[in-house]
Structure formats: C-alpha cells, structure tokens
Chain A
Amino acid sequence: MTDITPDKQTPRAESPLREAWGMFLRNHAAVAALVVLVLICFTAVLGPWLYPTDPFEMVWAPFSPPGDNGFLLGTDYLGRDLLAMIINGARVSLLIGLAAALVSIFIGVTVGALAGFYRGWVEEVLMRITEFFQVLPTLLFSMVLVALFGASLPMITFAIGVVSWTAVARITRAEFLRIRELEFVMASRASGVPNAKLMFGVILPNALPPIIVQSALMVGSAILFEAGLSFLGLTDPNVVSWGQIIGSNRQYILDASYTVTLPGLAIFITVLAISLVGDGLNDALNPKLRQR
C-alpha cells in the first residue's frame, strides 16, 4: 500500500542500473559473496606474483601436513606446494569457467533468439536440436569430445560450452516470444527496422535480465564441470586446475585427505559465491520478485 502513495517531493530520475544496484545491496548474502568473489579473482590474477612458488616444482617431501615445514596447506603426493597449486589452479578454473560460460551463452542466445524471433519451422528445428542436446548426458558428451579431440584448454572450454547452452536457449526463446509481441517492437517492426537490428538491437536488450542471471549461474556450473572433467583426468597435463589437483591426489585420499578436501573447498566456496551473487542479481533484475 505504501508503494502506491506518491512521494511528496518530485521523484528523482534514477537510472535502472542504479536502482538494480540498490536492490542488490539489500541482499546481504549476495554482497558478502561478491566480496569473496572479488578476492578470489584478485588471487587468481595477482596470486602468482604475491606467492611466487612454482606449482609444479617438488619443494619438500610428499604429504607434509598443512602448517608443517613452512607450507601453509602442506604438500601433495609429489611434494609440491598445495597452496601454490591452489592459487595457480584458480586461474585455470576461473578462466575456463568464464570462457565456457561465454561459449554456451553465445550459442544459447543465438539459438534462442532465432527460434523466438522467427517462429515457424526455424523454431521447430532449433527446439528439436535443443531437445537433442538435452538428451545427451552433458558430462559424458564432453568427455567424448575431449577424449577424441585432445585435452587442450580451448577444446575443454568448447566441450563444456557446447553441452551447456540449452537452458540459456530456452530462457532466451521464452523472453523473445514474450517481448516480440510488445508494442514498441511492433512499432519498430512497422517502421521497417531490419530483422537483425530488431533482434539484437531492440529485443535482446530487453531480454537481458534473466539471461544475465542465468549466465552468472552458468559460470558456476562451468567451473564445476571443468572440475569434474579434470577429476577424471581429462585435462591439459601442463596446467594445474582445482579439479585436477583432486584427481591427481585421488589415490591418497585416506593418507592425506587435505590434498583433496582443500582444493574441493576452493571450488565449493567459489561456486557458492557465484550462485549467491546470481541470487542477488535475480532479486535486483527481476521486477516481479521486487513486489514481494
């Protein structure tokens, strides 16, 4: 009821972005998660300079427990410094997470936009393709791709991206179907705006909020995905990532559990932070939820 009451003072012209940011700040968990996430990114970018130990170098005897012998997180089965590995692993995990999410968003938005905009047989064909990808178990399919075409970072990124776009496609299509019927789109269409501009210049900007929220979540699940692949050993042996640390130490779980639990904790915290930020974005960008 209070919402409807007009303010006595003249309403300030607040940009939608500022307003969304204000909404985001109200979600304390999301703000805390954002801080954690910034710290993690900071570590990933600057960590190797701040803590210059080589993650591949054998620095001590294997399985030195955390805290002993000057190694905060101990050493792994080859006597490598676990802290250095986790810091360097952050780079690969975050990088693949981001890049794979971008790939899947690109595919998903393109497919969803075309399907929602053109309807008819285009939509029919594209949605059947989407369903086809939903039937393939994602992890198995990307395992196959990586196994057949080699475990390079670009291939892994592509393999993750190419199996995870279906949710983005469905959301984008639904938004396009809704927005294409709105008046301002009709008006643009009537005034002869070309289709490509109509799709990506007029409709897409208005469809962005749910796509952005989904994209944030995609980064989280891509990180989990990469961790799963490298846990299974499907990873570039020349780089270190969180999942790969777990995978390579897997046989020694019972002897030195920290070599597995600590990198897992890093993944958990990162993905948790991303999903909390995603929740915050959802509250901030979804006007329907604001009413509650």
Chain B
Amino acid sequence: MALLEVENLRIELSTRDGTAPVIDDLSFHLDAGETLSFVGESGCGKSMTALALMGLLPERIGRIASGAIRFDGEDLTKASPARLREIRGNDISMIFQEPMTSLNPVFTIGEQIAEVLRAHQGLSRQAAWDHAVELIDAVRIPNPKGRAGDYPFQMSGGQRQRAMIAMALACKPKILIADEPTTALDVTVQAQIFDLLRDLRAQTGTSIILITHDMGAVAEMAERMIVMYAGRKAELGPVAQIINHARHPYTQGLISCVPHLHDVLTEDRPELFEVPGIVPSLRDFGRDECLFASRCAHVTDQCRSARPPEKSFEGGQIADCWHAEAM
C-alpha cells in the first residue's frame, strides 16, 4: 500500500459566478521515500491540492466535493479537525512559497520551531528549545544558538526558508509538501535549498511532494511527476520518461520551454518555444471538453466535444489526451 493515495479528488471553489472545480477528478499515489513533483502554470490547482492534503482549504470558499485522500489507509477527508491537527506538522508538514511572509514576524525563529515540538511531541520548554537549536544547525544556519533568538526580519530570505524547513521537519514527518519553496529566492540560494532538501531526504527518508513550475528543479529532485492543467491532471509518470517522451502536448510545451533538459537540441526544435494562448478562466473549469484545446496545435473536433480519457503507457506513464498514442 502506498503512503498516500488520492482517489478521484474534486475540490470546488465558490466564486461570484457559482462553484468551479479547481481540482477535477484527480487521482495519484505517493510511495514512502519518494519525491513526486506537481508541475503547471499558476492557477492550475497545484497549491489547492497541497492545501487539501493539509486540510487547510480556505474556509467558506473551498471544499472537498468528492473523492478520498488516504494517508496510511486513513481517509483524511473524513477525519475530525482534531485528528487533522494531530497529523499537520507532525506526519504531514508543509513549507510555503514566501519565506518573507510565512514566518510570524513577532516570534523568534527558535520559538516558532520549538512550538511544533511542544505541540506534537510534548517536549518541555527547555527540551524543545534545545532541539530547535539542533534543527537550525541541521538546516545549515551558522551560529544556531545565537540565531535561534533572532526574529525573522533579522534574517535573509534563504535563511528564513531554511528555518521554515527546520520547522517542517521538526517532527520527522512522513510527507513534506514543498510549495514552490525557492520561487522567491535568488538563483544561487535556490540551488542551496534544493541541496539541503535532498540531503535531508536522504537522512530522514521523508517523502516529498514538490510543487513547482520549474522543470529544472523537477528533473533534479523528483522521481515521478504530475503535470496539471486547469484543475485536471494532464500527464503523470516517471520524470525521465516524460522528459524523454511526453505524451501530452501541454507537457511537451512545458519541457521545450527549458533548453537544457534535452541533451542535444534537435534539428526540429531549433529554438525555444512558448505555449501560446492563455489559461482558461475559472468559469470554464469542469467543462466536458479538453481544456487545453484552445492552445493545442494538435486539436481535433473530438477534443472540443468530450473530456479526454486517461491513457496508460508502459512504465506507469498516463496521459489525458485524445491523441496521446500519436504523440
């Protein structure tokens, strides 16, 4: 049994125009120790999936309409708020995109890390603080004893994200969700953060769900990937296999945006390519058609008349495209 199994998940968001399915019939699994990456443009539902896994969908606006999220066999969509709190930060934890605003400005870093340990492991104040200092050391912030007493505004962006990682890994979670952990950081710092995440994964065996729009990061970090488009899965499978031979035109577009993913720039793709057109608006989510059709070079009438079915290929690759075999 996989560590996490998501089945036919549907998340609806209330908007002024009614409800829109921001996640529409999504199924995937995550194995222990594995890194799975979610890729797609902003607004495609990557972050919503993460928030749903944490039980943190925006109150009164977002809700899980149907489907199941099974963590270690337990369906989180049916778990009580108290049970979800036990899991959050302990078994499943998350680091966010904006290290600048995701840390509380009025508490010290040490306190913010120690707090998780007190909440989930029942450590005493002193023991939690000492452990927090060790964690700060583990995420390679120099002078951990001194820095534990610092406030977020006294740290750089990279250091804050390290502190977030220390906080997320404090209770040795089984799953770490990283929502665009490096988008807000300098390029050099980005590489350091990914190095850190890789090393920590090797030490702890934590599974990682990496949400990103950076195909380079996916190639470096993840074993498998899910490409999302307009709330739906476009393609899923082993990273190397998909980069080598994507079966969904949207995935192909994403990959060709990044030149160094191909060992050799082949003759038929002489220049960088961008995915033309724009993402459909929330109002169009959930229609019975291929939502990528308006931007697709291979579009046929079939694409506009019905939602494409899942098509499976060898090695666990799945693509939701009418023409996947021909790609």
In the complex, chain B residues whose CB is within 8 Å of the CB of A2: 16-17
Chain A count of residues within 8 A CB distance of the other chain: 2
Residue of A nearest to B281 (CB): A1
Determine the main DSSP class of A at the interface with B: loop
In the complex, chain A residues whose CB is within 8 Å of the CB of B16: 1-2
Mark B291-319 against chain A: 1 for CB-CB distance below 8 A, else 0: 00000000000000000000000000000
In the complex, chain B residues whose CB is within 8 Å of the CB of A1: 15-17, 281-283
A234 to chain B minimum Cβ distance, whole angstroms, is: 46
Chain B interface residue bracket vs A: under 10
In the complex, chain A residues whose CB is within 8 Å of the CB of B281: 1
Instruction: Determine the distance from Cα of A1 to Cα of B18 in the docked complex, in whole angstroms.
Output: 11
Residue of A nearest to B282 (CB): A1
B63 to chain A minimum Cβ distance, whole angstroms, is: 19
A177 to chain B minimum Cβ distance, whole angstroms, is: 25
In the complex, chain A residues whose CB is within 8 Å of the CB of B15: 1
Instruction: Determine the distance from Cα of A1 to Cα of B13 in the docked complex, in whole angstroms.
Output: 14
B284 to chain A minimum Cβ distance, whole angstroms, is: 11
Mark A1-12 against chain B: 1 for CB-CB distance below 8 A, else 0: 110000000000
In the complex, chain A residues whose CB is within 8 Å of the CB of B283: 1
Instruction: Determine the distance from Cα of A124 to Cα of B17 in the docked complex, in whole angstroms.
Output: 51
Residue of B nearest to A4 (CB): B281
A2 to chain B minimum Cβ distance, whole angstroms, is: 6
Instruction: Determine the distance from Cα of A2 to Cα of B18 in the docked complex, in whole angstroms.
Output: 12
Mark B261-294 against chain A: 1 for CB-CB distance below 8 A, else 0: 0000000000000000000011100000000000
Give chain A interface residues in 14-59, CB to chain B under 8 Å: none
In the complex, chain A residues whose CB is within 8 Å of the CB of B282: 1
A3 to chain B minimum Cβ distance, whole angstroms, is: 9
A26 to chain B minimum Cβ distance, whole angstroms, is: 16
Mark B5-23 against chain A: 1 for CB-CB distance below 8 A, else 0: 0000000000111000000
Instruction: Determine the distance from Cα of A1 to Cα of B282 in the docked complex, in whole angstroms.
Output: 9
Residue of A nearest to B15 (CB): A1
A153 to chain B minimum Cβ distance, whole angstroms, is: 51
A64 to chain B minimum Cβ distance, whole angstroms, is: 57
Instruction: Determine the distance from Cα of A51 to Cα of B281 in the docked complex, in whole angstroms.
Output: 64
Instruction: Determine the distance from Cα of A2 to Cα of B283 in the docked complex, in whole angstroms.
Output: 10
Give chain A interface residues in 65-95, CB to chain B under 8 Å: none
Instruction: Determine the distance from Cα of A2 to Cα of B15 in the docked complex, in whole angstroms.
Output: 10
Instruction: Determine the distance from Cα of A2 to Cα of B17 in the docked complex, in whole angstroms.
Output: 8
In the complex, chain A residues whose CB is within 8 Å of the CB of B17: 1-2
B16 to chain A minimum Cβ distance, whole angstroms, is: 6
Residue of B nearest to A3 (CB): B16
Mark B158-192 against chain A: 1 for CB-CB distance below 8 A, else 0: 00000000000000000000000000000000000
Instruction: Determine the distance from Cα of A2 to Cα of B281 in the docked complex, in whole angstroms.
Output: 11
A5 to chain B minimum Cβ distance, whole angstroms, is: 9
6 additional contacts (CB under 8 A) given A1-B15, A1-B282:
A1-B16, A1-B17, A1-B281, A1-B283, A2-B16, A2-B17
- Pairs across A and B, CB under 8 Å, 7 listed: A1-B15, A1-B16, A1-B17, A1-B281, A1-B282, A2-B16, A2-B17
Residue positions of B touching A, CB distance < 8 A? 15-17, 281-283
Closest 4 interchain pairs by CB?
A2-B16, A1-B17, A1-B281, A1-B16
